[in-house]
Amino acid sequence: MDIFLQQLLNALSLGGTYALLALGLAVVFSIIGLINFAHGELMTVTGYAVCFALIWGLPFPLAVIAGLAVAMTAAFLMERVAFRPVRGASGTTLLLTSFAVSAILRVLFQNLISARPIPVAIPASLSGVVTIGPLHLGMIQLISIIVTLAMLLGLNLFLHRTMAGRAMRAAAEDFAVLRLMGLRANSVVATAFAISGLLAGVAGVLWVAQRGSVDPLMGALPVLKAFIAAIIGGLGSLSGAVAGGFLLGFIEVILQAYLPESLLPYRDAFAILLVIAVLLFRPQGLLARKTLVKL
């Protein structure tokens, strides 16, 4: 039982990071129909920002704030420079554009920073272990669970209690009609990107804090996972993205814990098999919602 509880906490921590990333993908997809494959590079850029802020001698909390600010700015600029010119274009055009942005950023990281991992000086206080009764939980894992829950709560409040949040929910349903309310399309899209940047930034900080280093491809794998999570949940559905993220986290942790040693290298393959199984029964994803992408 304790072991199970322990695994549950591991799953919550990993799944939470996937959920934040999947949510960032879904927020943008729900509004402009773009699957942003450069979302991972927002994580990476956050990692570098935190890393350099620490090297320049900023205290850790300020470095984190700097990282998040850089992530939001990068997301905002990405929209302004790369995605706004192709807004309303076909899904393929949008997809190729986001691949291009992702590839360009990776090359820039490799050539302007370094192709190799750079260590990030994470404060020692974060690497401790917290013991709650029989459970041993990494400090970072604990923080990551708390931060994830706080982000989900915060986003939920934003979406339901503020006018900008209501506008985002409405835009996800029917962008053209939202413009008939007199709300500027550009500001709604910019808000969506800023939020997705913030979510990628938080996930990036949590990821770097666990790994202690940052490299040009850091964001690639987690965002691939987040993409799978968003599909499981039903692309464009925000609650679906969260559910998909946690589900994928659970599947991975359970497989890691209970697969025989010889099969462990195939863990991701098994995870993807389970995803395929989910989609066989619910091709639209778990919490699919009809999205209307019209301008």
Q: Give φ, ψ of 288 to 5 degrees.
A: -60, 155
CB of 92 to other proteins, least distance (A): 18
CB of 189 to other proteins, least distance (A): 12
Look at the block and give the residue holding tokens 């920073």.
Answer: 113
C-alpha distances in Å from residue 149, one per residue of 37, 123, 154, 201, 221: 25, 23, 8, 15, 22
251: part of which helix (H) or strand (E)?
helix 238-258
| CB-based contact 5:234 (threshold 8 Å) | no
Q: Which is nearer to other proteins, 184 or 282 (CB)?
A: 184
Q: Which is nearer to other proteins, 129 or 177 (CB)?
A: 177
| CB-based contact 14:249 (threshold 8 Å) | yes
Among 224, 289, 291, 293, binds other proteins (CB under 8 A): 289
Token code pair at residue 33: 């129909």
Look at the block and give the residue holding tokens 């001698």.
Answer: 57
Binders of other proteins: how many residues, by CB under 8 A? 18
HEC letters along 18-66 = HHHHHHHHHHHHHHHCCCCCCHHHHHHHHHHHHHHHHHCCCCHHHHHHH
CB of 287 to other proteins, least distance (A): 12
Q: Does 280 bind other proteins (CB under 8 A)?
A: no
Q: Which is nearer to other proteins, 181 or 269 (CB)?
A: 181
Contact positions with other proteins (CB under 8 A) in 135-194: 163, 166-167, 169-170, 173-174, 176-185
Q: Does 80 bind other proteins (CB under 8 A)?
A: no
Q: Which is nearer to other proteins, 236 or 244 (CB)?
A: 236
CB of 17 to other proteins, least distance (A): 27
Binding stretches for other proteins (CB under 8 A): 163, 166-167, 169-170, 173-174, 176-185, 289
